[in-house]
């Protein structure tokens, strides 16, 4: 489902280029769950942004479901995000002028995959049924995080990239979100790559990789 080969990325700084990722290589199969761990600044979020097509690597390649992402232009990468790859950001990126219900359905509508029955199931399982008519400003940080997760899962992506998806959630809601990701992997064959600092959460994933100084350590 996902193949990352010799991926490198650096950023320019006042005193010269700063390497962030160095020849990163790993692969994931369909339905596999993987926890990506590492200290702050190790390149975890950069790696997710590259796989999500939000940035371009300096070298190396990324292949998702048979499509070589690094060969696509902006429009092609955006189409892949709409239909194949779902991203849960640390920032919620909710649309302030839309209700919770409209925010959750937004991405699925764009992808032409609006399934109200599926969305109702997600909303109930993630505990948002009583908040559908509210606007983001009326929600707590944890509630907004759950809306962002529900929005990502609403269009049934084949690959989910989640950057600290439970960082704003309490223990109970963290477990709800974790179960939802694992059930999607098992039932729908969704591949889940999750950045997390939580050892307890990482222990529930099928595999764990550690990123240190821009390099992968299994």
Interval 20-60: pLDDT, tens: 999 999 999 999 999 999 998 899 999 999 999 999 999 99
3-state secondary structure of 138: helix
Number of domains in the chain: 1
Overall average pLDDT of the 167-184 stretch:
90
pLDDT tens-digit profile of 93-105?
999 999 999 999 9
- The residue range of the domain holding 7 is 2-94+157-217
Residue 43 maps to a domain: yes
In sequence order, which ranges of 84-140 are alpha helices (DSSP H)?
A: 100-110, 116-126
Estimate to the nearest angstrom the gap between the alpha carbon of 84 and the chain centroid. 12
pLDDT greater than 90 at residue 143:
yes
Estimate to the nearest angstrom the gap between the alpha carbon of 52 and the chain centroid. 8
- As a whole number of angstroms, the distance between CA 169 and CA 178 comes to 11
Residue 20 maps to a domain: yes
Residue 147 maps to a domain: no
The per-residue pLDDT for 148 is 94
Residue 151 maps to a domain: no
The per-residue pLDDT for 82 is 85
């Amino acid at each position: 489902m996902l193949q990352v080969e010799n991926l490198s990325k650096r950023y320019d700084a006042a005193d010269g280029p700063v390497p962030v990722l160095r020849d990163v290589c790993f692969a994931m199969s369909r339905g596999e769950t993987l926890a990506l761990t590492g200290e702050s600044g190790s390149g975890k979020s950069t790696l997710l942004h590259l796989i999500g097509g939000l940035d371009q690597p300096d070298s190396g390649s990324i292949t998702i479901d048979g499509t070589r992402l690094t060969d696509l232009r902006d429009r092609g990468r955006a189409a892949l995000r709409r239909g194949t790859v779902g991203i849960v950001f640390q920032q919620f990126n909710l649309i302030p002028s839309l209700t919770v219900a409209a925010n959750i359905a937004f991405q699925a509508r764009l992808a032409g995959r609006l399934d109200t029955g599926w969305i109702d199931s997600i909303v109930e399982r993630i505990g948002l049924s009583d908040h559908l008519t509210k606007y983001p400003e009326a929600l707590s940080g944890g509630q907004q995080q759950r809306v962002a997760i529900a929005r990502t899962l609403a269009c049934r992506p084949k690959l989910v990239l989640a950057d600290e998806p439970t960082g704003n959630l309490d223990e109970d809601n963290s477990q709800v979100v974790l179960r939802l990701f694992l059930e999607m992997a098992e039932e729908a064959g969704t591949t889940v790559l999750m950045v997390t600092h939580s050892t307890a959460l990482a222990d529930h994933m099928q595999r764990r990789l550690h990123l240190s100084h821009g390099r992968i350590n299994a």
